[in-house]
Amino acid sequence: MRPRLLPLLLLLSLLPPSLSRLSPPRSSGKPSGERPGKRPASLPSCLELRAGSSDYRYFIAGGACAAFSHGITTPIDVVKTRMQSDPHKYSPSLLKSTLQLVGEEGPLYLLAGLGPTVVGYGMEGAMKFGVYEALKPLTKTVIDSQAAAFLVASVIAGAVASVILCPMESTRIRLVTDPSFASGLLTGLPKLVSESGLAATFDGLAAMLAKQVPYTLAKQVSFDVVAAALYARVAARGGDPAAMKWAISFAAAAAAAVLACAFSQPGDMVLTQTYKRKGSGLSAMAVVRDIYWRGGVGGFFVGTGARLVHVVSIITSQLMVYDVVKQALGLPATGSH
């Protein structure tokens, strides 16, 4: 068994078996002795969930779409990370910074950190999408507002994903900010662990949470809400929602991308600066104060242009792939049910 599968299998093993497949009990053809409409005693109210809500297919679709979308946008992320780690050296222009970086390091440097990006975000995506879908019906049983229930589910999913992602992101940022550190994931992660210990790869967890929780909240919830609203609008106007499903997915994904970028930009800056200054003893809050002291509120938005291109590319492609994979696995399109 590959080690990268262990976090997924561990989480799945912790979920109650009743959550993986919930369907109405088959009728035996005999009177049950219960009043019509009465809930079967074997099914507590907190488990009366929509069928397949925590289906393993959400984990597969989430992992596939995240690995794909983050992998193909690695060059943009490399440039963005260098712009944030050394804003005085690189131009605010994405194109100029790319040309400068290629001139200094060569074109292959734009693929720095590709290994930890694909592996790390593949596992992170599986957790983020899978846990979010698993928790939505559970949070709805204790929170009356559907919007609030979805927000809580997204916050928890973002936190779980952050823990999974931390070691890979530590390796990726080290590879990008220090080209001489290692040649890739297979050499970089063991070297990082041998230098500082496994616990040190989680030093940036607070900063990771500052980025990933707002990012997940904005992305997951807005994609759900916007897609559902568009399906309802098409149906209200007498159109065929099924015929418009890809256009709806694209529009909802684009809206989610812009919101996720705006919500998580300050956290992304804090994350990059935290990893850049690793070993300095600065806490996440100390990094926040330092960024503010150096550049004010605007200091948290350095590299926003590059990141907007990066995040919109990632999320739009990611959510489109997510819906494609979900439907290929027999699940409905987001917002269509």
> pLDDT per residue over 191-248, tens digit each?
989 988 888 888 778 888 888 899 999 999 999 999 999 999 999 998 888 889 999 9
Asked if 290 and 282 touch (Cβ cutoff 8 Å), the reply is: yes
Give yes or no for residue 5 having a pLDDT over 50.
no
Catalogue all structural domains in the chain, each as residue range(s) with its CATH number. 49-328 (1.50.40.10)
Which pLDDT belongs to residue 186? 81
In the chain, count of helices (H) and strands (E)?
Answer: 12, 0
Local confidence band at 146 (pLDDT 50, 70, 90 cut-offs): confident
Cα-based distances in Å from 258 to 85, 115, 309 = 23, 26, 10
* Mean pLDDT for the stretch of residues 85-113: 87
Q: How far apart are CA 216 and CA 66, in angstroms?
A: 12
CA distances 126 to 99, 155, 164, 263, 317, Å, are 34, 15, 10, 22, 16
Give the H/E segment covering residue 78. helix 74-85
Q: Residue 118 pLDDT > 80, yes or no?
A: yes
pLDDT for residue 50:
43
Q: Can you read off the two tokens belonging to residue 144?
A: 């009356």
Q: Quick one: angle between helices 146-177 and 245-276, nearest 10?
A: 50
- The confidence score (pLDDT) of residue 278 equals 64
pTM for this prediction: 0.69
Assign 176 a pLDDT band (cuts: 50, 70, 90): confident
If you compute the radius of gyration of the chain from its CA atoms, what whole number of angstroms results?
22
Band the pLDDT of 4: cuts 50, 70, 90: very low
pLDDT band at 280 (very low <50, low <70, confident <90, very high): low
